[in-house]
Chain A
């Protein structure tokens, strides 16, 4: 079974809420990911999603992120290299959201 932990930090001052993910995201747990993002957002116009500790994610996660990016200012934090950076580039998600590359 696909395992991931979703940590939610609420907005403080001018900092948007943050969802930090550790583990894998695929079809099996993408709904948990969506729930964590929607809980974190709680009406906020912006959301940061930290994916630096994600070991695997696929287009299920990409679809969820696209749908957030459709009506919020989405910032994703990813490692500079590796398959998530590749995934964001191929899917075009990096053109509708802000991507911060950090180790």
Chain B
């Protein structure tokens, strides 16, 4: 079965490619086309949860049937157990999983494996097959059609890496086994905030902190670049103005939080500008850029400081 995986939000995949664009937070790797019968589906369920089914079977026609049954069932019921109802007795390794706001529920079949890091143990086991685990902010999940040696340790040490990067690191271990399909998932991390004195030398410091957090959150590279520039402009504006008008050392806070598909960003300062000295020209130039890069911008000035709050919808 050489068919490209059905990954919503993705693009057509070249036949020789094994890295598949997927929903945010996910990285998908399929075995080479020479090893048919493997598939991955990542589905955004109507209630906001994410459904994942992956599997492999030496017999491509069985794989195709199991895949289509599982996909349909997951869409209809959002239930990882019933998604694999028809694999019993078949020579298939498969995982069905549903990821919610704070939990992952999954069922494994055959050789397949699920690893959750940090691992607080299953919170529930039902129907003999269903495993439910708590997902902490920033948790990483690995689902694979065969166990991958050393995976838990790698997931633990790579907790701050973009899931795509982590998938690349896992590839040598997974490739040793013929036909292993892999899905990595990163749960949205805790919000970040960094407060520093307003100084040009600190722009790079807050930028690197934000860059690391965006990678941890699994954002695509285009959204990352837009966000770094929008927040960078807001931070640079605030830094410039603090040099001009404030009567005390101004501190800047850069913060970011991810909730569903909405990225909330803010740059706030505790400066008290002398209005006449604020260069509207420069702020205007930066604001024009920010407006083009994010979906909404709100500038709030009070006697205690200024906050630029930005919202950006991310895929």
Contact = CB atoms under 8 A, between A and B. Distances in A.
Interface of A: 1-3, 24, 26-28, 56, 58-60, 63, 81-83, 86-87, 90-91
B288 interface: yes
Contacts, number: 59
Contacts of A91: 285, 288-289
Contacts of A81: 222
- 4 A-B pairs closest in CB distance: A83-B225, A28-B200, A27-B200, A2-B204
Interface stretch (B34-42, B103-111, B229-237): B229-237
Contacts of A82: 225
Nearest to B239: A27
Given A1-B201, A28-B200, A90-B289, A83 B239 contact: no
B173 interface: no
Interface of B: 200-201, 203-204, 207, 222, 225-226, 228-229, 232-233, 236, 239-240, 285-286, 288-289, 292-293
Given A59-B285, A63-B285, A2 B201 contact: yes
B226 A83 contact: yes
B contact face: mostly helix, strand, loop, or mixed: helix
| Max count, chain A CB within 10 A of own CB: residue among B204, B228, B286 | B204
Contacts of A59: 233, 236, 285-286, 289
Nearest to A89: B292
Contact of A58 (B222, B226, B236, B288): B236
Nearest to A82: B225
Given A59-B289, A90-B292, A28 B229 contact: no
Contacts of A86: 225-226, 229, 293
B99 to A, nearest CB: 30
A81 B222 CA distance: 9
Contacts of A1: 201, 204
Contacts of A60: 236
Contacts of B200: 2, 26-28
Contacts of B239: 27
A91 B233 CA distance: 12
Given A59-B236, A59-B286, 14 more contacts: A2-B201, A24-B207, A27-B203, A28-B204, A56-B207, A56-B228, A56-B229, A58-B229, A58-B232, A58-B289, A60-B236, A81-B222, A86-B293, A87-B229
Contacts of A27: 200, 203, 236, 239-240
